[in-house]
Amino acid sequence: MYKAKEIPILDKEHWGDHGKDEQEEAYDKLQQLKQDFEGIPTKLYINRDEELQSYLMWFALMEKLPYELTDGGTRVC
């Protein structure tokens, strides 16, 4: 398990208008996982084979959400 450090959150507005790249896709995925979760998520589990793994870890750090790699599905708890 990795404990998040204090890193300022990126403002999605400054990403430019370059279409939907992997970075934006990962950000949107994390936000959707959090929105679909009932309550306040305290941990992000990322599948080891997740295509967006590095971006999800990066955004989890920025949002101070601890994460852990898993063989199960990518989800928040």
Whole-number Cα distances in Å, 66 to 13, 18, 19: 25, 29, 29
Among 6, 28, 5, 3, CA closest to 15: 28
Q: Virtual CA dihedral for 2, 58, 52, 20, nearest 10 degrees?
A: 160
Q: What pTM did the predictor assign?
A: 0.75
pLDDT tens digits for range 21-69: 999 999 999 999 999 999 999 999 999 999 999 999 999 999 999 999 9
